[in-house]
Amino acid sequence: MVQYIVRRLLYSIPVIIGVTLITFILLNVVPGDPVLEMVGKYADPEAIEQIREQLGLNDPLVVQYMRFLFNLLRGDLGKSFKTNLPVSKMIADTFPTTLKLALSSYLVAIVLGVSVGIISAVKQYSILDRSMMILALAGVSAPVFWVAVVAQLIFGLKLGWFPISGYYSFRHMILPAIVLGTRFAASIARYTRSALLDVIRQDYIRTARAKGLSERRVIFIHALKNAMIPVVTILGMQLSGLLTGSILTETVFAIPGLGRLSVWALSERDFPLVQGTVVFTAIVYILGNLIVDISYAFLNPRVRLK
C-alpha cells in the first residue's frame, strides 16, 4: 500500500510540472503587454521599461519559466497587478470558501444521489426508476449557471426563502450547495444504480438471500458496500466538474471564493493572478485525484497489485 502511494505521488510530480508549463505557455501567447495593462497606456516609456526589468519580463522565456517554477516551490506566486497583494495570500483568503461550497455540494450530491440510485436499482424498470433516471439525465444536461439563476429567481426573488448573493451565513450556503450538488447527484444516482444492479447479480448476494437475510440487510450491508467502489471513482471524476462548477456558481451567487477570484482576475487581465489561480486549481485537482486513487486502492485491493 505504501509503495502504491509513493508511486502515485511520484507520478504526479511530472504532471504538475506539465500543468505549470502549459499554463505558462498559454499566458505568454496572450496578445497585449501585461505591463501596459498594469500601468495604463499613457505611462512614461522609461518607467515601463523599468518595471519590465524589475519583473524580469526582459529575460528569455526559459529563464522566466524556471523562476516561476522555483518560486512556486516556495509558495510564491508573485504579486497581483491590481491589488499589489501576494497572489498566494489572495488564494489562501478565498480557497476556504470554495472548499466549503465544494464539500457542502458533495454532501448534497452523495446523500441525494446514493438514495435515488438505491431506490432505482431495487425497483429496477418500475415507473419510479424510469422517471428518476430520466430526471437524472435531465439534471446532467442542465447548465449549472442557468440552474443557479433559476434557483435565485424562484427561491430567492419569488419565494424569498434564501438570500441570492453573498456567503455570510448558513442560509447563504444552502442554495449554492443544492444547485451545485444536485447536478452531481444526477450522475452519482446513475452510477450507484448500475453498480448496485451489477452487484445484486453476484453469487454472494444470492448466498446472503439464501441464508434468509432480510432484503434490507442484503442491500444495505452486503450489496451497497461493494457497489460503492465505482461510486468513489465517480466522486473523483466529478472533482473537475466541481471545481469548474464552483467558478460558475460563485459567479452567479457572488460568493467570494477562488472561482470568482479567477473570473475577476480574467476580467481585470491581472496576469500573475490568472496564472496563480489556474495553476493552483489544477494542482488541487491533481491532488484530489491522487486522494481518490489512493482511497480507491484502499477499497479495492485488486488495484494495488497492478
- Could you tell me how many residues of this chain bind another protein (CB under 8 A)? 47
224 scored as a contact of another protein (CB under 8 A): no
Contacts with another protein, 14-33, as mask; x by CB under 8 A: xxx-xx--xx--xx-xxx--
163 scored as a contact of another protein (CB under 8 A): no
Helix axes 87-122, 271-299, angle to 10 degrees: 40
CB of 279 to another protein, least distance (A): 10
150 scored as a contact of another protein (CB under 8 A): yes
Nearer to another protein, 39 or 142 (CB): 142
160 scored as a contact of another protein (CB under 8 A): no
Among 87, 114, 281, 293, binds another protein (CB under 8 A): 281
| Residue corresponding to grid cell 505521488 | 9
Beta pairing partners, 179: none
Query: Rounded to whole angstroms, how far apart are CA atoms 28 and 18?
Result: 15
262 scored as a contact of another protein (CB under 8 A): yes
Among 65, 110, 174, 285, binds another protein (CB under 8 A): 285
- Sole window of 86-94, 102-110, 219-227, 276-284 interacting with another protein (rule: CB under 8 A): 276-284
CB of 275 to another protein, least distance (A): 9
Among 159, 267, 301, 302, binds another protein (CB under 8 A): 267
1 scored as a contact of another protein (CB under 8 A): no
Nearer to another protein, 57 or 149 (CB): 149
Contacts with another protein, 124-143, as mask; x by CB under 8 A: ----------x--xx-xxxx
CB of 50 to another protein, least distance (A): 27
Instruction: Tell me which residues touch another protein (CB under 8 A).
Output: 14-16, 18-19, 22-23, 26-27, 29-31, 134, 137-138, 140-147, 149-150, 152-153, 157, 239-241, 243-244, 247-248, 251-252, 262-263, 266-267, 274, 278, 281-282, 285-286
